[in-house]
Amino acid sequence: MLKIPVAKPDLGDEEVALVTETIRSGWITQGPRVAEFERDFAAYTGAAHAIALSSCTTALHLALKVLDVGEGDEVIVPSHTFIATANAIRYCGAQPVFVDIDPATLNLNPQLIPALITPRTKAILVVHQVGRPADLETICAIARQHKLAVVEDAACAIGSEYQGRKIGHNYFAPLVCFSFHPRKIVSTGDGGMITTDNAEWAARLRRLRQHGMSVNDLQRHQSATVVTEEYLELGYNYRMTDLQAAMGVAQLRRLPKIIARRRELAANYDRALTGLPQLELFREPGNALWNQQTYLVRLKGASPVQRDEVMQKLLAVGIATRRGIMSIHREACYGSAYAAQSLPESERASDQCFCLPLYTQLTEAEQQHVTEQLRRALA
């Protein structure tokens, strides 16, 4: 029987060669390869600075940190996202204030933001869910009006574009965070990146990721004079290793091809599934390019049990799927006050959506098997 997983990283000989070369170089922690990956990433996104980190979760934590988000502050954020987005706010001692989504886009609904703003609101944390660009123009206009900072959680959005610019370009928000977890499009095993146009923040982010040290290992190694480091503020170990960065450099070179293939596969799904009355599909916004990090469908009007039945039927014929995006306020670690909140569109989307297999190696025949079996499961 065919076994079709839901996702598979696209790794090849170039990644193996660069990682091998890096091991042989003798420098494996954050060093020249991380610096190279950062330069390539900044050039790709059009950002002035790119700072590599151990994950998108740590990137979000430090992005909020340089904005001085702390105790007593509130940050407006969707609940309908991966839990790390809101956890980063809590790491700073601040409080997530959940905003509901637009059901057609699964991204936060900007019209709901003004009612949530209080004197304690410090920032808006925007998520480009499954890589589909959020309405940055409207959100940033609201933020400017109320003097709020904006951070983008672009964990899934590498290669996506908004109004003709790559996500990561700091035209709208000054801090954009990316993930290189294997479920994303570029993977380094684990890893993250922040892009910013602010040189002072870039320098501080580089210190914070390395224990607050005034110089990094590479600078000390390359110095002709003895360097004694200082610890200027409380920092963290949030570094990316040179082994991870070597993978990232190779992945970034292949990214245009990877995205083109993903968009081709998504278009195939669109064609095969359009017109099925039980399904709602999610479309590319007119002013954006979507990297198709995840192909979600909504089973219209379904309960979670009915949705799970369809997923189970697909699994029985060798097709793996996953439920859609979670709604954080319903999770135990957020407690009863959050659980009591009503975010109807977030909850409905969590209950009704699921994602279909999508990865560059997926063949047309396998994809046809998926759509045929899905039609059968819905019949």
Ligand X SMILES: *Cc1c(COP(=O)(O)O)cnc(C)c1O
Active-site residue set: 184
Query: Cα angle vertex 301, ends 342, 334, to 5°?
Result: 30
Residue at 133: amino acid letter: P
For residues 288 and 161, the answer to whether their CB atoms sit within 8 Å is yes
Should residue 56 be labelled a site residue for ligand X when binding is judged by CB under 6 A? yes
> Following CA atoms 177, 198, 74, 333 in sequence, which dihedral angle do they give, to the nearest 10 degrees?
30
CB of residue 208 to ligand X, shortest distance in Å: 16
Which region among 41-49, 54-62, 267-275, 309-317 touches ligand X (by CB under 6 A)?
A: 54-62
Helix ranges, the chain (H): 13-25, 32-45, 56-66, 83-91, 136-145, 199-208, 217-222, 242-273, 304-316, 335-339, 344-352, 364-378
Beta pairing, strands 288-289 & 161-162: antiparallel
Among the listed residues 41, 82, 290, 334, the single contact to ligand X using CB under 6 A: 82
Q: CA–CA distance from 243 to each of 210, 211, 318 (Å)?
A: 17, 20, 34
x-or-dash string of contact with ligand X, 98-127, rule CB under 6 A = -----------------------------x
Among the listed residues 81, 160, 292, 321, the single contact to ligand X using CB under 6 A: 81
Q: Which is nearer to ligand X, 83 or 112 (CB)?
A: 83
* 119, two tokens: 């004197």
CB of residue 79 to ligand X, shortest distance in Å: 12
Closest CA to 32 of 179, 297, 171, 222: 222
Please list every residue from 277 through 306 that binds ligand X, using CB under 6 A: none
CB neighbours of residue 231 within 10 Å: 12
* 33, two tokens: 């390869």
CB neighbours of residue 294 within 10 Å: 25
Please list every residue from 312 through 341 that binds ligand X, using CB under 6 A: none
Query: How many residues at the interface with ligand X, by CB under 6 A?
Result: 14
Which region among 21-29, 81-89, 275-283, 354-362 touches ligand X (by CB under 6 A)?
A: 81-89
CB neighbours of residue 256 within 10 Å: 11
Should residue 176 be labelled a site residue for ligand X when binding is judged by CB under 6 A? no
For residues 178 and 172, the answer to whether their CB atoms sit within 8 Å is no
Q: Is 189 helix (H, G, I), strand (E, B) or coil?
A: coil
Burial 85-116 (b: 16+ CB within 10 A, else e): bbbbbebbebbbbbbbbbbebbbbbbebbeee
Among the listed residues 85, 95, 109, 216, the single contact to ligand X using CB under 6 A: 85
Should residue 61 be labelled a site residue for ligand X when binding is judged by CB under 6 A? no
Q: Which is nearer to ligand X, 27 or 282 (CB)?
A: 282
CB of residue 130 to ligand X, shortest distance in Å: 8
Should residue 79 be labelled a site residue for ligand X when binding is judged by CB under 6 A? no
Which region among 51-59, 204-212, 235-243, 362-370 touches ligand X (by CB under 6 A)?
A: 51-59
Q: Which is nearer to ligand X, 188 or 278 (CB)?
A: 188
Which region among 80-88, 269-277, 302-310, 362-370 touches ligand X (by CB under 6 A)?
A: 80-88
x-or-dash string of contact with ligand X, 129-158, rule CB under 6 A = ------------------------x-xx--
Should residue 37 be labelled a site residue for ligand X when binding is judged by CB under 6 A? no
Q: Which is nearer to ligand X, 18 or 84 (CB)?
A: 84
Should residue 373 be labelled a site residue for ligand X when binding is judged by CB under 6 A? no
d(CA 240, CA 28): 10
- DSSP letters, 328-365, are GGGSGGGHHHHHT---HHHHHHHHHEEEE---TT--HH
x-or-dash string of contact with ligand X, 183-222, rule CB under 6 A = ---------x------------------------------
Q: Which residues bind ligand X (CB under 6 A)?
A: 55-57, 81-82, 84-85, 127, 153, 155-156, 179, 181, 192
